[in-house]
Amino acid sequence: MTKLRPTEEVADLARRGLAACRVPQLIVDEQWTVVLVSEGACRLFGRSREQMEGTALESLVSSLDVFAGCGHRTCPPEGCFRQLDLKLRNATTAVELHCERFRDAAGHPFLNLVLYDAGELATRDAMRTARISKLGLLNQVSEALYGAQLSLPQVLESVLIAMTAGQGLRFNRAFLLLVDERTRTLRGEIAIGPSSREEADRIWRDLADQPTDLYEMMTSYDLSLKETDVAVNNIVRNLKVDLAEDDHVLIQAMHSRRVLHVSEKDSGPGLDAVRHWLGVGRFAVAPLATRRGSIGVLIADNAISGLEITELDLEFLQLFANQSANAIESSRLTEELARKVLDLRKAQQKQKEDQQTLLRMERLSVMGETSAIVAHELRNPLVAIGGFARTLLRNLTEDDPNRQFAQIITEEVGRLERIIHDLLDFIRPQKMMRRNLPPDQIVQEIARKMHLTLEHASVALDLDLKAGDVEVNCHPGEIQQVLQNLTLNAIQAQPDGGRIRISSRVLEGGVLIQVADRGPGLAKDVAEKMFSPFFTTKTAGSGLGLTICVQIIRAHGGVLRGENLPEGGACFSFILPRPKPEGENGE
């Protein structure tokens, strides 16, 4: 045992320190005479310092037996600890005794007896148990919030469930407000809690059947399915504070990073408004603070039970709010990340498609150049072959057996020339020489040009032109070609004759032109493929017709659509743009 050799001053200081100590403490010498007592001991024994110091311990307690085993020789060097009932005056007090041996500078043995009030200790234990239980709860909350992969709304719900559940923080009502960056406000998001005593009783009865484990409750309890919480959610939706209102109680609470306990006595900017919203005078506001800043506040009250919000409640509300803030932030970031990943995937997909389109276009372009050379080279010999076949045909008499052969050569060369014509048109770079003119004029021109062809095919042409003098900005030759190709297609869709209707109608941005037939309509696989080069269902023609049309309309900033009409037949439509205002009309 260490021998104490304090200076007089230190010894005096220690004496005074002990004397002032609130914990009951007595120092006794070898003869069990009280040498020194603490303030707490005076209180416990109900005597003054003068009454106690210098007297035998035996005179203070009914019997020294209670100290049995704490003797100067029996007490272990590390001290001993025991519970005993101390009979003081007329009452018995349960105490916990801590006994320790020591010697003074001269080597005299002393005992230091510390007596803890067991009742006081029990309260402290209860507090400790409550703390441990709440810490366990926080742990559960944390597991639920982070472990269960909840979506943001689920996290928000879970936070409120944990705040109000019996197994949780036990507040009557809880409100969650988040910062809305877009409107620069602190806005009510979601709330939970009954609107009246009756509703509260009903909910609490219902809850008896609910899962008792908070984790299970938070992850399985669906607030949206409950008809309760309507009133509180109406309240929360009206909660809205401008972030610029720096001195508003909620904004201050949000930035303070400390939980705020508001009682009826308090006053401050915005406080009355919040009291009015909530309908209570007392409530607690906890900031939702993350490392990146404040994201909102939690408001809790005991509006139904009227119970006081205790220090412990506030302490845990603070801890809980910190955890919730991080969970909300993490959920938000996860969602944002998921969104970004999706965007990235889409962008990648688009890039891939663009690349493929580019490759296809490049292939088409190379193919086009090659085709152009070949087509031109073929044209001259074809002109000679076909030309002479016609000469032959003319020179042969009607009954000459060779006449039929010359006829075939003429027709086949004609077919080849049409293919070459279509092909060269398709690959020729479109030079835009646009003009402003009424589209109805182009349609009428086509009707005039195709008059004989239509008559020959026994197809009637109906014109329903409503554009009148309204002008469009277009390349007339190209639009003529589109109309001609569409009309030819429509004729061929009706080999036994029929009707074609070309109509025009003024829309806001341009003029809608439609070419409709009464043929069998477009088959599904045809509808998908018909705009790709070289696709054809016709026995004559190269299949480039529609592709050229698509290209021309696209060059005019529009889209060529093909669809089947409900009354039967196919209908192709496109919109020609109105002229741009003066000065913008360029190539």
Partner 1 sequence: MAKILIVDDEPHLRLLYETELRRAGYETMTASNAEQGLEYVETMHPDLVILDIRMAGMDGIEALQRILDMDNTLPVILNTAYSSYRENYLTWSADAYITKSSDTTELLVKVKELLDAKMVES
Sole binder of partner 1 in the list 96, 180, 199, 425 (CB under 8 A): 425
> 557: how many CB neighbours lie within 10 A of its CB?
13
- Contact between 147 and partner 1 per CB under 8 A: no
Report the candidate in 99, 538, 517, 159 with the shortest Cα–Cα distance to residue 327.
Answer: 159
- Contact between 410 and partner 1 per CB under 8 A: yes
In the bound state with partner 1, the residue whose beta carbon lies nearer, of 368 and 439, is: 368
- Give the range of 109-117, 234-242, 305-313, 412-420 binding partner 1 by CB under 8 A: 412-420
- Give the range of 27-35, 39-47, 284-292, 408-416 binding partner 1 by CB under 8 A: 408-416
- Cα separation, 310 vs 378, in Å, equals 98
Sole binder of partner 1 in the list 72, 332, 379, 505 (CB under 8 A): 379
CB 71 within 8 A of CB 45: no
Q: Which of residues 297-336 bind partner 1 (CB under 8 A)?
A: none
Sole binder of partner 1 in the list 279, 387, 495, 557 (CB under 8 A): 387
In the bound state with partner 1, the residue whose beta carbon lies nearer, of 146 and 388, is: 388
In the bound state with partner 1, the residue whose beta carbon lies nearer, of 207 and 424, is: 424
CB 205 within 8 A of CB 139: no
Q: Helices (DSSP H) in 292-400: which residue ranges?
A: 311-395
In the bound state with partner 1, the residue whose beta carbon lies nearer, of 149 and 380, is: 380
Sole binder of partner 1 in the list 174, 389, 457, 560 (CB under 8 A): 389
Sequential DSSP letters for 418-481 = HHHHHHHHHHSPPP---EEE-HHHHHHHHHHHTHHHHHHTTEEEEEEE--TT--EEE-HHHHHH
Q: Helices (DSSP H) in 165-270: which residue ranges?
A: 197-207, 214-220, 230-238, 249-256
- Contact between 552 and partner 1 per CB under 8 A: no
Q: Which of residues 431-450 bind partner 1 (CB under 8 A)?
A: 431
For the bound state, the minimum distance from the C-beta of residue 425 to partner 1, rounded and expressed in Å, comes to: 8
- Cα separation, 76 vs 190, in Å, equals 61
CA angle, 93 as apex, 92 and 97 as ends, to 5°? 130
Contacts of 534 (CB under 8 A, 6+ apart): 542, 543, 544, 547
- Would you state the structure tokens that stand for residue 337, as one six-digit string? 């990340």
In the bound state with partner 1, the residue whose beta carbon lies nearer, of 414 and 543, is: 414
Buried/exposed 480-492: b ≥16 CB within 10 Å, e otherwise: bbbbbbbbbbbbb
- Contact between 260 and partner 1 per CB under 8 A: no
- Contact between 132 and partner 1 per CB under 8 A: no
Tell me how far the alpha carbon of residue 73 is from its chain's centroid. Answer: 72
Sole binder of partner 1 in the list 241, 317, 406, 413 (CB under 8 A): 413
For the bound state, the minimum distance from the C-beta of residue 383 to partner 1, rounded and expressed in Å, comes to: 5
- Give the range of 7-15, 177-185, 409-417, 445-453 binding partner 1 by CB under 8 A: 409-417
Sole binder of partner 1 in the list 7, 380, 397, 539 (CB under 8 A): 380
- DSSP letter at 77 equals T
- Cα separation, 355 vs 357, in Å, equals 5
- Contact between 82 and partner 1 per CB under 8 A: no
In the bound state with partner 1, the residue whose beta carbon lies nearer, of 488 and 571, is: 488
Contacts of 36 (CB under 8 A, 6+ apart): 15, 18, 19, 26, 27, 53
In the bound state with partner 1, the residue whose beta carbon lies nearer, of 143 and 417, is: 417
- Contact between 368 and partner 1 per CB under 8 A: no
Report the candidate in 179, 40, 6 with the shortest Cα–Cα distance to residue 115.
Answer: 40
Q: Please report, as a single letter, which amino acid is at residue 579.
A: P
In the bound state with partner 1, the residue whose beta carbon lies nearer, of 380 and 539, is: 380
- Give the range of 162-170, 200-208, 342-350, 376-384 binding partner 1 by CB under 8 A: 376-384
In the bound state with partner 1, the residue whose beta carbon lies nearer, of 389 and 443, is: 389
3-state DSSP assignment of residue 277 = helix
- Contact between 424 and partner 1 per CB under 8 A: yes
- Contact between 414 and partner 1 per CB under 8 A: yes
In the bound state with partner 1, the residue whose beta carbon lies nearer, of 263 and 391, is: 391
- Contact between 388 and partner 1 per CB under 8 A: yes
For the bound state, the minimum distance from the C-beta of residue 420 to partner 1, rounded and expressed in Å, comes to: 9
- Contact between 104 and partner 1 per CB under 8 A: no
- Give the range of 44-52, 169-177, 240-248, 373-381 binding partner 1 by CB under 8 A: 373-381
For the bound state, the minimum distance from the C-beta of residue 372 to partner 1, rounded and expressed in Å, comes to: 8
- Give the range of 47-55, 98-106, 385-393, 449-457 binding partner 1 by CB under 8 A: 385-393
CB 152 within 8 A of CB 276: no
Residue 56 to residues 33, 51, 400, Cα–Cα distance (Å): 4, 11, 158
- Contact between 541 and partner 1 per CB under 8 A: no
Report the DSSP pairing between strands 109-117 and 510-517: unpaired
Q: Half-sphere exposure (CA, 13 Å, Cβ side) for 255? A: 10
Sole binder of partner 1 in the list 24, 194, 386, 510 (CB under 8 A): 386
In the bound state with partner 1, the residue whose beta carbon lies nearer, of 101 and 434, is: 434
- Cα separation, 92 vs 107, in Å, equals 35
- Sheet containing 173-180, strands listed edge to edge, beginning at the edge strand earlier in sequence: 240-242, 185-192, 173-180, 293-301, 283-290, 260-262
Sole binder of partner 1 in the list 122, 384, 460, 559 (CB under 8 A): 384
- Contact between 10 and partner 1 per CB under 8 A: no
Sole binder of partner 1 in the list 16, 108, 428, 580 (CB under 8 A): 428
In the bound state with partner 1, the residue whose beta carbon lies nearer, of 450 and 530, is: 450
What's the longest Cα–Cα distance across the chain? Answer: 160
- DSSP letter at 310 equals P
Tell me how far the alpha carbon of residue 318 is from its chain's centroid. Answer: 26
Q: What are phi and psi of 35, to 5 degrees?
A: -95, -40
Interface ranges with partner 1 (CB under 8 A): 376, 379-391, 410, 413-414, 417, 421, 424-425, 428, 431
